[in-house]
Amino acid sequence: MDLGLEDRAYLVTGASRGLGHATAQALVQDGAHVLITGRHQAPVTEAARALAEVGPGRAVGVAADQADPDAAAELLAVTRAEFGRLDGVVISVGGPPAGSATTATDDQWRAAFESVFLGAVRLARTALVEAKEPIAVTFVLSSSVRSPLSGLAISNGLRPGLAMTAKTLADEHGPDGHRVNVVLPGRIDTDRVRELDAKGGDPQEARRQSQASIPLRRYGRPEEFGTVTAFVTSPAASYMTGSVVTVDGGAIRAL
């Protein structure tokens, strides 16, 4: 299926590894050019090099902290300078620290709000306001939008608000042709999920229990998630906005 991505340009955050990287790979494989970001330059540079090998799209890596108030405008400007255009933004933010609502400190909540929530909203808002032509903004969030995850209180608190903000942005910018959507990963086999499985001391048992609760009885592969996110962001999904798409093997029981 041709997603219409050839020679289009996208900014993908949190793309040095995990879900952001998988999405960037799907975009590049279909001919799009991507500017990827992460907090540290070395892994971002290496990730961009790896993406360039799967082509035909180009990949450029730039280190940035999404909590930095200047990062949004700077990253959007670099994307336009590198590729001569901007067709969309995929906002993938690393998960906040694990813990309970009772034990999470004020400092942890503030830090997570700045990076996970406000940084994401700022980037989406800036991209939409600055855009001269219709663009697509896709938020990569978490299944905690629809159902709380044990031991991830901060994620449970912030992600649903981000999803509703995305829906509001879709309403506000739809008349200008912009699209804003959300993709929710379930248990995708990334470093982050493996780290969470290891917290209880027996990662193999944690994985076995998780898989038993998933109708497909397995974790998703990053490329399975990246393909869906690339589609949602692509021109092939041109009449899709304000939507929340779940990629979780059927784990979430709510509609």
Of 73, 84, 76, 161, whose CA–CA distance to 117 is shortest? 161
- The token duo for 241 is 């906005």
Helix (H) or strand (E) run with residue 43 in it: helix 41-54
Chain center to CA of 245: 12
Chain center to CA of 133: 22
Question: Please, what's the b/e burial string for 127-150 (b: 16 or more CB within 10 A of its CB; e: otherwise)?
Answer: bbeebeebbbbbbbbbbbbbebee
Write the DSSP symbol of residue 176: G
- The token duo for 154 is 């901060």
Q: Which domains does the chain have, with CATH numbers?
A: 9-238 (3.40.50.720)
Question: What predicted TM-score, i.e. pTM, was given to this entire model?
Answer: 0.94
pLDDT tens readout for residues 84-142: 999 999 999 877 888 999 999 999 999 999 989 999 999 999 999 999 999 999 999 99
The predicted structure's pLDDT at residue 253: 87
pLDDT tens readout for residues 64-86: 998 899 999 999 999 999 999 99
Is there a contact between 12 and 35 (Cβ–Cβ < 8 Å)? yes
Other CB atoms within 10 A of residue 175 CB: 7
